[in-house]
Chain A
Amino acid sequence: MPFAALQQILATRFPTAVPAPSLEPCETVSIGIAEVDALTGGLARGSLVEICGARCSGRTSLLLATLAAATGRGEACALVDARDSFDPHSAHEAGVALDRLLWVRCANIEQSFRAAEWLLLGGGFGLVALDLCELAPQTVRRVPLNVWFRFRRAVEHTPTVLLVLEQQPHASTCASLVLELRHKNSHWSAAVAEEESPSHAKLFSEKQIATQVVRSRFGNFRKEPFLAAQSGEERTAHRCSVTFTASPDFAAEPLPTTNRQ
């Protein structure tokens, strides 16, 4: 007997034993990458979302795509940069409207969390991103759980999405969605394989990034319509990972070789 059918029988006979899943309608916004949007159903407003992964796993690419989508909707966004590693030129190339983005350049974790809290309390931002990628996991692990609860409480029932970028998930049950990114593959221009090809004839052309849903408060309810549309089946298996491709900004145009005088 399928699990869903068993669950339905139990819910009918023992309604208190099987809690109803949270089906509150909530507005979602696009992440900016179609494949990840299809996987997650978008980012729910008023939720805390964690994006984690190792170095070069594509976290920043996903962040810039999300910021580009949010600022493209005309929303004001904020980025709390724990180690001052944000590259405005990459953001510009990714389509982020820089005049709608508030950048807070912090020097340590205390500054980052305090700044993020003030931004959440001030309200009015469509997206507040807390970039902890450059901090060691054990440093972030020392943050008490009540801080994450405070963040969740500050952001819920608001139209703001709190996006936390880090190496490992730390917000525990406070996070509505946890995505893990992994570098899957990379492609260089065709000449790279040839030993005799000069190095300046090669280009780092694209990078494939695997995205996996580690945990979602909304379960697979959000994915059902998409999966049904894709496969035509009424209920399908839980698909929890996709791969998307990101290319550097110079993939189409080489770097300038002369200075603008």
Chain B
Amino acid sequence: MPYACIYVADFPAEAILRGEPALRGFALVVLDGQPPLETLVAMNEFARRAGVQPDMPRALLEQCPSLLIRRRSAALEAAAEAALLETAETLSPRVERVAADTLALDLAGLERLFGSPEKIAAELSRRVAQIGLRARIGVAANPDAAMIAARGFSSGVTVIAPGCEAEILGRLPVSALSGLPGVVIEPDILETLERWGIRDFRALAALPTAQLSERLGQPGIYLQQLARGESTRVLIRAEPVAEFTESLELECAADELEPLSFLLGRLLDELCARLAAHALATNEIRVRLELDAVSGDVNLYEKTLRLPVPMRDSKILLNLLRLYLAAHPPDAPIRKMTLTLAAARPRTAQGGLFAPLAPDPQKLEVTLARIAGIVGAENVGAVELLDTHRDTAFRMRRFGASPATVSYAAIATRPDFDAAPKTALRVFRPPPRAVVELRDAVPARISFAGLRGKVRAASGPWHTSGDWWQPDGWQHDVWDIEIEFTGNTASPARDSAERHAARAVAAFYRIYFNHADEAWFVRGEYD
């Protein structure tokens, strides 16, 4: 049963290079700690070739003009670690997170898919390179041997055939055991081995086991098993990810959304690639921006953008995010941004040749966001009638969020439905106040909004009332009237042609007397 190990050397530097790929060709060192007592924690190959030593202080490093110095970024490392874990899980379902920079994989059963262990290792290396990291791969018969091979040999891929572990690992120095994650070695054991003249794994493996146990106890036996490549253990499977996060810290705070969209696009590309690797999509984007605060305090901007359908098209997500940020802009320049996509199962829909016309949900979401940016989010959507007799009662809800529940067939079979054309009412919002002259308690003349006319026919009153226990209760006497407009109908809202037309023909209106205001209003016109 082969195992593989992925090890990313100089992980803090690789995490930064993954976030800023443009730095790949430069010598880079990463410092950690409080200034001025910062220590060098990682460097890339260019810095190593330039002669940078691990114990160099910052002052010395700053004297080298071609050297890029970066502070360690926990956010970038967390994002790189998550990406590495997700990439490993695309190859094998059994992955153990040994350390932030080290993963162990069970390769059992992958031969049928990828072929020999060498091909599996090459595929693993390729996939890790796709997420912007450079890793070493070790393959062996047990996870510890694979881990020692990956961490001990500087070559890209090391494959140890079964039975050859002791021979291949024997070339490694004993000091290679000290940095292994999960392996606790007391310093006096290494000193003892040093005094004995045990320099490499081969010498350690050749020691007689019984005598080694008498002198160093169980830790010594364990170290010898590691050196022989014989240790066995069970992988502890990593928890599956529920959300995907990427962060980016800016050297200079960005105060405009346009340049920011390029960076957002890059983060979304990476996140969507990770989602695709897991055959997942997202239905929620969480944006966390650290803003440039004047007072020195951390000013946070946190918003959540919920999507009606799961999607993972980075261009569409970028458009939605841009429109959302344009509608809700942060109030200060941005120093750092973190995007988190909640994982969701992708939408599966079977297209039909005879399916009725409907917009693509992803395109529709962008269109709605654009229109919401023009008219306001509360003014776009589907309308839902409320269960009340108040004739103005309705509420807006998200369009397309739920599948169609009412079909024309259902409407047509409604007992009160008549398929004949209906005279529609156009409502006035807000309703204009009217002056109504009554004759025998029936409207005889009316004037409103600059229009004046004689009531030809009237039907009513239809009394409606409700919500008397609420502040917005109503009590109306509703009339339907036919008006013949007369005289001067000067209206600021209507032009001469319309006034002429209004005078020429009769018009039908719905008016009501509001008992609360003791006034007449025009609800709308029948058109």
Contact = CB atoms under 8 A, between A and B. Distances in A.
Nearest to B523: A87
A253 interface: yes
* Residue from B412, B428, B508 with most neighbouring chain A CB atoms (10 Å): B508
B527 A255 contact: no
B505 A124 contact: no
A73 B354 CA distance: 11
B464 A88 contact: no
A163 B332 CA distance: 44
B389 A259 contact: yes
A255 B390 CA distance: 11
Nearest to A206: B423
B391 interface: yes
A98 B382 contact: yes
A97 B412 CA distance: 11
A12 interface: no
Interface string B160-172: 0000000000000
Contact of A56 (B364, B379, B391, B506): B506
A125 interface: yes
A84 B458 CA distance: 27
Contact of A133 (B400, B467, B527): B527
Nearest to B427: A87
A199 B439 CA distance: 12
B508 A207 contact: yes
Interface stretch (A111-119, A143-151, A217-225, A232-240): A111-119
Interface stretch (A3-11, A15-23, A59-67, A169-177): A59-67
Contacts, number: 278
Interface stretch (B38-46, B119-127, B494-502): B494-502
B188 interface: no
Interface residues of B, number: 86
Contacts of B418: 247, 252
Interface in A46-98: 54-65, 68, 71-76, 84-95, 97-98
B383 A85 contact: no
Contacts of A74: 355-358, 404, 407-408
A97 B424 contact: no
Interface in B358-374: 358-360, 363-364, 366-368, 370-371, 374
Interface in B389-428: 389, 391, 394, 396, 399-400, 402, 404-409, 411-412, 416-428
A245 interface: yes
Contacts of B498: 54-55, 136-137, 167
A100 B507 CA distance: 31
Interface in B407-453: 407-409, 411-412, 416-429, 441-442
Interface in A120-155: 121-126, 133-134, 136-138
Contacts of A107: 375
B116 interface: no
B478 interface: yes
Contact of A244 (B421, B458, B460, B494): B421
Give the interface size bracket for A toward B.
35 or more
A85 B404 contact: no
Contacts of B466: 259-261
B480 interface: yes
Contacts of A103: 380-383, 396
A42 interface: no
A207 B423 contact: yes
A138 B383 contact: no
B457 A192 contact: yes
B89 interface: no
A114 B372 CA distance: 11
Contacts of B381: 102-103
Contacts of B402: 99
A115 B412 contact: no
A63 B423 CA distance: 10
A159 B457 CA distance: 44
B130 interface: no
A105 B495 contact: no
21 contacts: A55-B502, A68-B411, A72-B408, A76-B358, A76-B359, A89-B385, A94-B421, A99-B382, A100-B406, A103-B380, A104-B375, A105-B375, A123-B360, A123-B363, A199-B441, A199-B460, A202-B459, A206-B423, A207-B508, A248-B423, A253-B416
